[in-house]
Chain A
Amino acid sequence: MSELVVNPGVLPVGPQEKKSASWWGVLCLVATEASLFAYLLFSYYYYDVQLTRAWRPSAPPPLHLAAPNTVLLLLSSVVVWWGERALKKGKPGRCLIALVVGFLMGVGFVLIQLKEWASKHDSLQKDLYGSIYFTTTGFHMAHVIAGLIALLFVIVWLGLGYFDEKRSAAVSNAAIYWHFVDAVWLTVFFTFYVTPYLW
Chain B
Amino acid sequence: MTTVEVERAPRIAIADEELKRKLDETWRTKPGLLGLLGTVDHKTIGLRYIVTAFIFLAVGGIEALIMRLQLARPGQNLVTPEQYNELYSTHGMTMIFLYALPILSGFSNYLWPLIFGSRDMAFPRLNALSYWIYLASGIFMYAGVAMGAAPNDGWFNYVPYASLPYNPGLNEDFYSLGMIFYGISTTVGAANFVVTFLKTRAPGMTVSRVPIFTWGTLTASVANLLVVPAVSLDFFMLWLDRQHGTHFFDVGQGGQPLLWQHLFWIFAHPWVYVIVLPAMGMVSEGLPVFCRRPLVGYTPVAVSTVATMILGFGVWVHHMFATGLPNLAMSFFSAASIIIVIPSAVAVFAWLATIWSGKPVITTAFLFFASMIVLFVIGGVSGFMTASVPADWQLTDTYFVVAHIHYVLIGINVFPVAGAIYMWFPKFTGRMLDERLGRWNFWTMFLGFNLGFLPMHLSGLLGMPRRVYTYPAHLGWDWINMVISIGSFVFAIGVLLLFINIFLSLKRGKLAGNNPWDAYSLEWSVSSPPPPYNFAVIPTVASRYPLWEGRLGEGERLTSVEQGPALDHEKEALLTSSLDSDPTLILKMPEDSVAPFLLTVAMTAAFAGALAHLNWLALLGGAGCLVALVVWLWPQKRLGQRVAA
Contact = CB atoms under 8 A, between A and B. Distances in A.
Interface of A: 1-16, 19-22, 24-25, 28-29, 31-33, 35-36, 38-40, 42-43, 46-47, 50-51, 53, 55, 124-125, 127-128, 131-132, 135, 149, 153, 157, 160-164, 166-167, 169-170
A87 to B, nearest CB: 12
B24 to A, nearest CB: 22
Nearest to A165: B643
A186 B431 CA distance: 58
B259 A12 contact: no
Contacts, number: 216
B254 A47 contact: yes
A63 to B, nearest CB: 25
B585 A12 contact: yes
Q: Which of A5, A32, A38, A135 has the most CB of B within 10 A?
A: A5
B588 A28 contact: no
Given A14-B588, A14-B641, A29-B191, A128 B233 contact: no
Given A1-B550, A8-B9, A14-B588, A35 B639 contact: no
B229 A39 contact: yes
Contacts of B560: 3-5
A15 B640 contact: yes
B558 to A, nearest CB: 5
21 contacts: A1-B556, A3-B557, A3-B558, A4-B560, A7-B12, A8-B574, A12-B7, A13-B586, A21-B123, A25-B122, A29-B191, A32-B191, A39-B230, A50-B258, A53-B254, A55-B254, A124-B246, A128-B248, A131-B240, A160-B645, A162-B643
B419 to A, nearest CB: 30
B586 A135 contact: no
A143 to B, nearest CB: 12
Contacts of A33: 229
Interface stretch (B136-144, B193-201, B314-322): B193-201
Contacts of B217: none
Contacts of A25: 122-123, 126, 191-192, 195
A153 B245 CA distance: 36
B246 A125 contact: yes
A135 B123 contact: no
B344 interface: no
A11 B225 contact: no
A21 B122 CA distance: 7
Interface string B1-39: 000111111101000000000000000000000000000
B587 interface: yes
Interface of B: 4-10, 12, 122-123, 126, 187, 190-192, 194-195, 198-200, 203-204, 225-230, 232-233, 237, 240, 244-248, 250, 253-256, 258-259, 262-263, 266, 538, 540-542, 550, 555-560, 562-565, 574-575, 582-588, 626, 630, 633, 635, 639-643, 645
Contact of A124 (B244, B542, B588): B244
A128 B250 contact: yes
Nearest to B122: A21
A31 B228 CA distance: 11
A154 to B, nearest CB: 9
B226 A32 contact: yes
B585 A3 contact: no
Contacts of B563: 3, 5
A95 B584 CA distance: 26
A4 B540 contact: yes
Nearest to A164: B643
A28 B250 contact: no
A168 to B, nearest CB: 10
B641 A11 contact: no
Contacts of A2: 557-558
B581 to A, nearest CB: 9
Contacts of B199: 21, 24
A4 B6 contact: no
Contacts of B200: 21
Given A4-B559, A12-B7, 4 more contacts: A14-B586, A25-B123, A47-B256, A50-B258
B626 to A, nearest CB: 7
B586 A28 contact: no
Nearest to A16: B585
A110 B626 CA distance: 20
B233 A39 contact: yes
A32 B225 contact: yes
Nearest to B121: A21
A166 B256 contact: no
A134 to B, nearest CB: 8
Contacts of A28: 190-191, 194-195, 225
Contacts of A20: 575, 585
